[in-house]
Structure 1
């Protein structure tokens, strides 16, 4: 899958977005459509397991406390959080899964480890509040995968190549498209939800403090579920990107390549280069025991 255009062309002959993605994947990989669906079903199960493990865990990171538990306590004190029940729940899950990853928990890279909380946050918050069938969730995950495949083929999913727009940005775009599908939106609406999200994050730098996917990565996972949700609502309302979807991803690629090395996962710029960032880096690595001599 190199483009939204080829997905949407198949949808013009009465296929849904997830069906077009499966057909194109089957053509390119030689795998049967049933096997592709089975594999995505397995991924959903693995993602759910990571959510359950993360929600029930307590964390103390190297640079931050258990932010997910803190947010959960806040939500419990409010009838309706300022951001609304759905976004608050999605953020709580995203924070948990991202912290779980930082603590070496088993997660599904969706599409990367540093952005692993966003998609499960959106999918499982939607499940808990709106009760879609498991089959619908698998299909929504296929929609998300199709979006990620287009971004990977036309741009990149690596922060080292394209900044955090390629990691958390891609994850949010994938989640936004999946939400539109779950809400019964058209294939075109899913595509536009994805790129409305990308447009809002274009140029986002990758600046992990001390080279660890903890600060600011975990909080970005927690906040970007809100952008994905709003872009899904905009697309469902009929709002479209003036720039065609594939051209948005092409622009994303060019912007990523234009970012200086210091802003592409090298920890040489952005928040990683602040005085506090450097202080934390020095502290962390001074506490790492030397490797044993062989």
Structure 2
């Protein structure tokens, strides 16, 4: 029941007339030797952690270890509640929740790396916002998590989800692709549409560098998680509308990996280039590190 590529996953779903989430559940039952009940239990745990990390900083903001984050998610949420937000209800919620998760991560709290700590806000931001605005059940979100896991699994096997290896396009880009695919399935899209959304998401963030100030997963990481949810929701909408991406998912994943390996080392989580390499970025790095 395993699948080693996006194409193999799609062929399985088409042949057996099943959604991606069900294909991933079956994979975990066969390859992971888990029972259906055990999988559901784990999904419940993941969802609870995501819900807590996406909401706790909005209620009780805390300053991050590096001092670059603390209270941003609450500000975004307050703007939405006051009716002053520019984005619609789903995207505004998703932005706030994604930023909140990064605040939890930066204060050494409990998060779900989906697929990494640096991109951990994207998937919960999208899924929890959709849960609220579309009044979705926990079961629907479980399916979204399984769908996203399938995409993440393929990207980890055939490309990368590491900023140190392939830039932020491999972290936030992968998370955005996972979230886009998950959103499509839980809103009624086909497996083909899910792959289209994921492909769009990867292509839109192709080349995104990893340049954390002072080497900390704080800034610009938080803002990029917010961009990740916006990208995911946009790509899901395109795919659900029937818009198609000419490059197949597997080829896009390979392209992302090649682009990432081509990035100079300064732009792959070394804190030596990009935002971190600016005069202010360097100054902040020295202040944080006490130099």
Band the TM-score falls in, shorter-chain normalisation: over 0.9
- Matched residue, 2:50: 47
Match of 1:66 among 65, 71, 78: 71
Match of 1:29 among 12, 20, 32: 32
Match of 1:18 among 18, 21, 24: 21
- Matched residue, 1:110: 114
In 2, Cα distance between equivalents of 1:217 and 1:39: 27
In 2, Cα distance between equivalents of 1:154 and 1:193: 18
- 1:195 Cα offset (Å): 1.1
SS of residue matched to 1:207: coil
Deviations 1:222-247 (A, max 9, x none): 22211110100000011121011111
SS of residue matched to 1:78: coil
Extract unaligned runs of 5+ from structure 2: none
In 1, Cα distance between equivalents of 2:45 and 2:276: 36
Does the aligned pair in 1 maintain the 2:68–2:219 contact within 8 Å? yes
- Matched residue, 2:208: 204
SS of residue matched to 2:130: helix
SS of residue matched to 1:51: helix
- Matched residue, 2:141: 137
Match of 2:9 among 1, 7, 10: 7
- 1:272 Cα offset (Å): 0.5
- 1:65 Cα offset (Å): 4.6
In 2, Cα distance between equivalents of 1:213 and 1:187: 33
- The TM-score normalised by the length of structure 1 is 0.93
In 1, Cα distance between equivalents of 2:249 and 2:70: 39
- 1:58 Cα offset (Å): 1.2
Which deviates the most, 19-28 or 183-192?
19-28
SS of residue matched to 2:246: coil
Deviations 1:158-203 (A, max 9, x none): 1111100111111111111111011100011011101100000011
Give the aligned CA root-mean-square deviation in angstroms: 1.5
- Matched residue, 2:285: 281
In 2, Cα distance between equivalents of 1:248 and 1:99: 31
In 1, Cα distance between equivalents of 2:194 and 2:56: 30
- 1:44 Cα offset (Å): 1.6
SS of residue matched to 1:54: helix
Does the aligned pair in 2 maintain the 1:63–1:280 contact within 8 Å? no
> What is the aligned length?
286
- Matched residue, 1:255: 259
- The TM-score normalised by the length of structure 2 is 0.93
Q: Judging changes above 3 Å, is the alpha-carbon distance between structure 1 residues 254 and 33 closer, same or farther for their aligned structure 2 residues?
A: farther
Extract unaligned runs of 5+ from structure 1: 288-294
- Matched residue, 1:290: none
Does the aligned pair in 2 maintain the 1:55–1:97 contact within 8 Å? no
The runs of at least 4 aligned residues of structure 1 exceeding 6 Å deviation read none
